[in-house]
Chains A and B, each alone.
Chain A
Amino acid sequence: MTDGSESREATSGRRSLRESLRQELVTRFGDEAQEGSVLTDLQRQRIQDLIRRGGFTASDVLMALRTDGGYEQDV
């Protein structure tokens, strides 16, 4: 039987597919959101941070979109 420390070592050496998917999502969102430039750089980065971290809500998304020349500044 292999003990836990061995499996930890083996796992740490490679990125899981889930992490790959998350990273892929962050990168591709950056590319997709740049098209048409509706979002500012800062807004795009804030959203990418949310995706990277996970577990966010609609309010978090709207808050990110209101930053940097967004809703609050307009009103």
Chain B
Amino acid sequence: MICGGNAKGKSAIVDGLEFFFGGLVGRFRGEGTGSIDHDEAVRSIICHQTPSVAITMASGNTTLTRRLGGDIEPRSAPDCVKEYLRACGEPGRFILRRGQILRFIESQDSDRYQRLVDLLGQGEIRAMQDAFVRASQEAERTEIEAKQQFESKLGAFSDPTSGFVPNSAAAIQDRCVELLAVAGIAVGGTPPEFLLAQQELEKRRSPSTRDRLDAIARAIGSLSEGVGKDLPTLAADVESVRERFLHLAMVPEADQLPVLASGQEYFSRHEGLVTCPLCEQPLLSGYAHVLGRLKERLGRHKDAIEAHREWGECMDRLISAAEITQHRLEEDLRHRVVMPVETGAGIAEARDELATWVRALHLLRDKPGEHPVEIPEILGKLQSKRAAEAQRLREVRVQMITGEGAAVEAAVSLLKLYIEEKESLTKLEAERSAALRLSRRAHAAEQAFRRSREAALRSVLGHIADTVLKYYIRLHGEAASECTRVSFRMTDRARGGGLRLLIDFLGLKRDADPRAFLSEGHLDSLGLCIYLATAKLFNRPGTPLVLDDVLTSADREHRHRVAELLLEEFGEFQLILTTHDERWFSIFQDKAAARGDQKDWRFQRIANWSVDSGPESAAYEGTWDYILSNLDEDSFRELGGSLRLVLEDFMKRVAERIELEVKYRISADYTVGDFAVAGLVKRLREKLLAASPDDGVDIKKELARAFGDDELINFLSHDNPGRLEVTLQQTKDLVEGLQELEKLCVTHKLIKGTKL
């Protein structure tokens, strides 16, 4: 935990962490950063070297460094360190700054959805949903095609004169039995019975008209089969895919797809990656941006390839249907002999146009989306012309049949057609039934998955919301909690989905926007709880969790509860807290100590910030390193406090070793004056001279330098007017004297412990 006043560099430390783990500082780049040049902003204004951040890992005593635009070095770090870096992920997931605390609450529904639901792997679930939707669409298309083919075949058996329009093979069979009964032949409907009945009917027919009537019946059967009914639908499917091509405005490159897919998979598996695995160059725009771009490109490529595949499938279906129609017309033309010349010529013309169109379709198939598909105009009136010709032939047939022959001819024409077509009729009927069943199943599966997805997401989002509320109530207590329920409601207003954050206010107002009801302090708490709940649920234990000055004045009355929450629930994370609030710093230390967790924490104060070295810790300020680095004309007058600390430390350690009797203080905060009064200098001089009589001159000189100017340290203390009278040389003499005495005391075992 780091405590320091404003402008002491607390956020710079967090910037350093963000830079180390992510390669950049987010607050200097992206939305709202205006004209800030990131690379300039992270650079020292007096040192022009490449900015870098180094972190030393306790594990294996490994020091890792990241430079601007570079990767974390060395790359040969131990596996456990690499695993740790991977587990940490993007800094955005584990660093919360003061200004971001309301980010989730103030987000648009779509951004909120993206942020939270993406953490749940929603992209993959969306892909599952797409697979179910496509399966359902494909099954439905197959069902329509099978239905049309079967109905087209049934058309050959319909008889507008008698009003018979069959809807199944069984209906045709029943009609055959019925017509045979009218002709005086009773059958049960089995195939052998039908064959015998046909033979019997043939015997009763007039030889003079039989062949002509058969030819007319076959022509009627052919002309009654529907043609090209499905062509408009199939052409519309092709046009729909063409529009997708135009919208995507890209040519898919199938070769790129596996590269992009494996790239995305690799990036997803290596969170926080900083170097491109292919070119080994740093990811200058950051892991999240590159992964986002990969996902977008992969999505577009997938869409384009999918559109390409669908184009091929739709064109194949259209070509197949056109060829069937062409074949149907050729069948019609086999019966041309019973038709008027101009009717035959009209069908032949349509067949030829169709053949030309089919050739054009084959060419277009390899040029996806190049131009729209247009059905030849001649096909538009073809069906009605064929129906009219079939009707004319029926009337001719009626005129040719006289007396009791009518019943025989009606039965024989249907029976012969049924026997000839029974096999294909049965097959088409079975295909239609199977396609219908599959379509129903695919639709049911799609609906079941849609409901499951929503229910599962609701359940998991409910779990997250419950955790948020649990933390919130821990901060405010059940009785004082303004917010009595938290929920995430999925909305579909945004294209990709939306997520609304709702609360119940004091149990009086349900499903309300928290911004409209919660006080500023409670809103901040809610923001903090949302962040902590998502971190707890999604971040890996053992990874960092950085809260940069997020406890505001609005939360002052609850800060002890925030401390409890963090200590109890987040002990498994590497918590790093910064604050400007001394009271909160103190509360947290006391709580940790009372829980016996003190050993797991380091509490550091930032004493100063300088343009040369940035934030300086209070502990560092009391060290010899700090004193020596500031022992120059510019800084030596600021060393009063530090010199006092090292001098007191020296005297305490000597006093303990030589068992000096000092006036007891209940607070134990002994000062230089206490040791001086107790005669420490005199006792030390006697012991040093006794231990090393030959060095008497030097010993006395160093003692005089260290202790001969009582006022020097006082003068160097802040706000003391006397500080201006102290010279750098005086201060250096004191420092050198004390250092030399330390060496002598160590040599003669007159001091305990080690120096600061």
Q: Which residues of A contact B (CB under 8 A)?
A: 1-8, 10-11, 16-18, 20-22, 24-25, 28-29, 31-33, 35-36, 38-39, 43, 47, 51, 54-62, 65-66, 70-71, 74-75
Q: How far is the CA of A1 from the CA of B80 in the complex (A)?
A: 11
Q: Is the CB of B135 within 8 A of A61?
A: yes
Residue in B128, B139, B444 whose CB lies within 8 Å of A39 = B444
List residues of chain A with CB within 8 A of the CB of B256: none
Chain A residue, CB-CB nearest to B87: A7
Measured between alpha carbons, how far is A17 from B539 in the docked complex, in Å? 11
Bound: A28/B455 CA distance, A:
8
The B interface, classified by DSSP as helix, strand, loop or mixed, is helix
Cα of A10 to Cα of B445 in the assembled complex, Å: 37
A74 touches B537 (CB 8 A): no
Answer whether residue B365 sits at the interface, using C-beta atoms and an 8 A cutoff. Answer: no
The listed residue (B82, B84, B131) touching A60 by CB distance below 8 A is: B131
A65–B445 touching, CB < 8 Å: yes
In whole angstroms, what is the CA distance A2 to B85 when docked? 10
Which B residue's beta carbon lies closest to that of A61? B135
Docked complex Cα distance between A18 and B542 (Å): 19
Tell me the smallest distance from the CB of A1 to a CB of chain B, in Å.
4
Is residue B745 within 8 Å, beta carbon to beta carbon, of the partner chain?
A: no
Can you list 18 residue pairs at the A/B interface with Cβ under 8 Å? A1-B55, A5-B80, A6-B541, A7-B84, A7-B542, A7-B543, A10-B572, A17-B463, A18-B120, A25-B452, A28-B455, A39-B441, A54-B128, A58-B134, A62-B138, A70-B434, A74-B437, A75-B427
Minimum Cβ distance to chain A for residue B250 (Å): 22
Given the complex of chains A and B, what is the CA–CA distance between A7 and B457 in angstroms?
A: 27
Q: Which of B55, B427, B441 has the most CB of A within 10 A?
A: B441
Does A56 contact B131, Cβ atoms closer than 8 Å?
Answer: yes
Shortest Cβ distance from residue A23 to the other chain B in the assembled complex, whole angstroms: 9
B433 within 8 A of A: yes
Smallest distance from the beta carbon of B129 to chain A beta carbons, Å?
Answer: 10
Contacts of B131 in A (CB 8 A): 56-58, 60-61
A43's partner among B83, B441, B452, B456 (CB-CB below 8 A) is: B441
Bound complex: CA A14 to CA B435 (Å) = 45
B59–A65 CB distance below 8 A:
no
Chain B residues lying within 8 Å of A22, measured Cβ to Cβ, are: 121
- Partner of B441 from the list A25, A60, A70 (CB cut-off 8 Å) is A70
CB of A7 within 8 A of CB of B121, answer no
* Chain B residues in 8 Å Cβ range of A59: 135
B276 at the interface (CB under 8 A from A): no
B324 at the interface (CB under 8 A from A): no
Interface 1/0 per residue, B62-98 and A, CB below 8 Å: 0000000000000000011111101100000000000
User: Chain A contacts of B537 at CB under 8 A?
Assistant: 17
Cα distance, A17 to B119, chains bound together (Å): 9
- For B444, what are the chain A residues with a Cβ–Cβ distance below 8 Å? 33, 36, 38-39
Expressed in whole angstroms, the Cα–Cα distance for A32 and B537 within the complex equals 28
Pair A10/B59 contact, Cβ less than 8 Å:
no
In this complex, what residue of B is CB-closest to A8?
Answer: B83
Find out whether the CB atom of B448 lies under 8 angstroms from the CB atom of A70. no
The smallest beta-carbon distance between A18 and chain B, in angstroms, is: 5
Chain B residues with Cβ under 8 A from A5's Cβ? 80, 83
Query: Does B635 touch A at the CB level, under 8 Å?
Result: no
Inter-chain contact B128/A2, CB cutoff 8 Å: no
Q: Which of B514-545 contact A (CB under 8 A)?
A: 537-538, 540-543
- Measured between beta carbons, the chain B residues less than 8 angstroms from A65 are 135, 139, 438, 441-442, 445
B124 an interface residue at 8 Å Cβ cutoff?
Answer: yes
B456 A39 Cβ-Cβ under 8 A: no
Besides the contacts A1-B57, A24-B459, what 10 more A-B pairs have beta carbons closer than 8 Å? A1-B574, A7-B87, A11-B540, A17-B464, A33-B448, A56-B128, A57-B134, A65-B438, A65-B441, A75-B427
